[in-house]
């Protein structure tokens, strides 16, 4: 959002003084609220331009996958074995933290540790899954390689990840925000951040001025709209989903990720069929911040259903929606402190896997901001050195 001179003043007179301001109420921002609430004597508040989980966190497929956009063998080629292992362990820890949260606060968000299938759509993809399984077992990850299609729907085989899960993402993010107990200001966009040597950090919203010592920026795809440093580092990419009416029968018992993750599907607790993806067929169109579904991409999703799940294709579609994801050049999240703006910390660019990273990533962000922890493979320092992974891989 840009800001005109005429609107560059809060209309209200409210002033708020806090220690830490969180910007963004998706999984990362809500998670930060939760982790801050575990510490003593911190006065924090969270601001969201809309409602809690109104961004990608309330618009995704609700998959809690271990890993990242690449299969393990490809990740090793791209980032090396140590980084790949660390990132996969990071997402396993994310799963553990969510299971622990459900135990402690109740499972009000349909968390179901069903396991996942990564399904091969070609011989080449199956070979990648086979190699990945071998490397993962060597590195201590629990996984099973299946050389034939467990769904009997024309896939070439699969990889079974037993710890993966599905959940209701909006209910989950709201539960996390609520468990934090911190003040939430929704429908209150941050329109500007000021960093003044004398008065310190302040946030300007349409209603008030907020003074604080630290800011945790959790706006993912929207980060470049608030802070220009992100302009060449985080790009907005749209994803689309459709959901049918409840089917008569249960036809899937796991969350499924196929064709290197370009398509993903699951059956919801009430038997609705959810399908997302097909972005690879419309790659040029699915960019930017516009929240809309397109007839072309939705037709591709429907074709996919007809080909693989005719019984779901026969059910009418109840919901179609889109969401905006933040992608980085090297496909890893970016966590750190703004180089020319001390006190402003961020965790952005979840690269379409933010539920898989989110709770652990928000814990990492609070540790970076409060304890000076290094963000490891996600550290923004990689973008400052002349030999960055993104430059190496491009």
Ligand X SMILES: Cc1cc2nc3c(=O)[nH]c(=O)nc-3n(C[C@H](O)[C@H](O)[C@H](O)COP(=O)(O)OP(=O)(O)OC[C@H]3O[C@@H](n4cnc5c(N)ncnc54)[C@H](O)[C@@H]3O)c2cc1C
Binding residues for ligand X restricted to 14-33, rule: CB under 6 A: 23-29
Exactly one of 10, 45, 54, 309 binds ligand X (CB under 6 A); that residue is 54
Exactly one of 16, 21, 55, 84 binds ligand X (CB under 6 A); that residue is 55
3-state DSSP call for residue 144? strand
- Does residue 163 belong to the site contacting ligand X (CB under 6 A)? no
- Does residue 60 belong to the site contacting ligand X (CB under 6 A)? yes
Which value, to the nearest 10 degrees, does the dihedral of the CA atoms of residues 128, 131, 133, 136 take? Answer: -110
How far, in Å, CA of 341 to CA of 348, rounded? 16
- How does 10-45 read in b/e, with b if 16+ C-beta sit within 10 Å? beeeeebebebbbbbbbbbbbbbbbbbeeeeebebb
Q: How many residues are there in the chain? A: 394
Q: Are 325 and 348 in contact (CB under 8 A)?
A: no
- Does residue 352 belong to the site contacting ligand X (CB under 6 A)? yes
Q: From 246, 103, 123, 256, select the one nearest 179 (Cα to Cα).
A: 103
Considering only the stretches 125-133, 144-152, 349-357, 385-393, report the one whose residues sit in contact with ligand X under the rule CB under 6 A: 349-357
HSE (side-chain half, CA atoms, 13 Å) at 187: 0
- Does residue 219 belong to the site contacting ligand X (CB under 6 A)? yes
How far, in Å, CA of 40 to CA of 107, rounded? 26
Considering only the stretches 57-65, 127-135, 308-316, 363-371, report the one whose residues sit in contact with ligand X under the rule CB under 6 A: 57-65
How far, in Å, CA of 16 to CA of 146, rounded? 57
Residue 20 phi/psi, 5° resolution? -135, 130
Exactly one of 21, 34, 48, 66 binds ligand X (CB under 6 A); that residue is 48
Exactly one of 22, 45, 62, 364 binds ligand X (CB under 6 A); that residue is 62
* Number of residues in contact with ligand X under rule CB under 6 A: 40
In the complex, least distance from residue 225 CB atom to ligand X, rounded to whole angstroms: 6
Binding residues for ligand X restricted to 284-323, rule: CB under 6 A: 323
- Does residue 336 belong to the site contacting ligand X (CB under 6 A)? no
Q: From 133, 23, 28, select the one nearest 353 (Cα to Cα).
A: 28
Binding residues for ligand X restricted to 261-280, rule: CB under 6 A: 276
Closer residue to ligand X in complex, CB, 168/353: 353
In the complex, least distance from residue 348 CB atom to ligand X, rounded to whole angstroms: 6
In the complex, least distance from residue 52 CB atom to ligand X, rounded to whole angstroms: 7
Closer residue to ligand X in complex, CB, 190/364: 190
Q: From 63, 390, 45, select the one nearest 188 (Cα to Cα).
A: 45
How far, in Å, CA of 276 to CA of 170, rounded? 17
* Chain positions contacting ligand X, by CB under 6 A: 23-29, 47-50, 54-57, 59-63, 189-190, 218-222, 226, 239, 241, 276, 323, 325, 350, 352-356, 358
């Amino acid at each position: 959002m840009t800001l005109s001179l005429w609107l560059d003043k809060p209309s209200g007179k409210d002033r708020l003084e806090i220690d830490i301001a969180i910007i963004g109420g998706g999984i990362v921002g809500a998670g930060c609220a939760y982790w801050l609430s575990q510490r003593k004597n911190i006065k924090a508040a969270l601001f969201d331009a809309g409602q809690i989980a109104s961004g990608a966190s309330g618009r995704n497929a609700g998959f809690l996958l271990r890993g990242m956009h690449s299969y393990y063998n490809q990740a090793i080629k791209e980032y090396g074995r140590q980084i790949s292992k660390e990132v996969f362990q990071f997402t396993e820890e994310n799963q553990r933290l969510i299971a622990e949260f459900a135990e402690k606060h109740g499972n009000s968000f349909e968390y179901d540790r069903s396991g996942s299938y990564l399904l091969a759509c070609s011989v080449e993809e199956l070979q990648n899954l086979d190699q990945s399984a071998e490397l993962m077992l060597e590195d201590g990850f629990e996984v099973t390689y299946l050389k034939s299609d467990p769904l009997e729907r024309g896939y070439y085989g699969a990889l079974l990840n037993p710890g993966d899960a599905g959940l209701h993402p909006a209910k989950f993010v709201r539960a996390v925000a609520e468990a934090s107990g911190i003040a939430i200001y929704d429908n209150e966009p941050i329109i500007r951040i000021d960093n003044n040597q004398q008065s310190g950090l302040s946030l300007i919203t349409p209603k008030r001025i907020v003074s604080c010592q630290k800011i945790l920026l959790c706006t993912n795809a929207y980060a470049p709209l608030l802070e220009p440093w992100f302009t060449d580092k985080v790009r907005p990419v749209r994803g689309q989903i459709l959901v049918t009416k409840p089917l008569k029968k249960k036809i899937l018992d796991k969350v499924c990720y196929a064709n290197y993750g370009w398509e993903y599907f699951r059956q919801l607790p009430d038997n609705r069929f959810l399908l997302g993806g097909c972005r690879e067929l419309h790659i040029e169109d699915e960019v930017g911040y516009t929240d809309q579904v397109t007839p072309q991409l939705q037709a591709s999703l429907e074709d996919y259903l007809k080909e693989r799940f005719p019984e779901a294709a026969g059910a009418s579609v109840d919901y179609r929606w889109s969401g905006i994801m933040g992608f980085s050049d090297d496909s890893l999240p970016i966590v750190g402190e703004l180089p020319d703006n001390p006190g402003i910390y961020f965790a952005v660019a979840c690269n379409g896997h933010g539920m898989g990273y989110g709770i652990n990533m928000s814990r990492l962000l609070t540790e970076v901001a409060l304890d000076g922890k290094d963000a490891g493979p996600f550290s923004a320092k990689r973008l400052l050195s002349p030999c960055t992974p993104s430059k190496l891989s491009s």
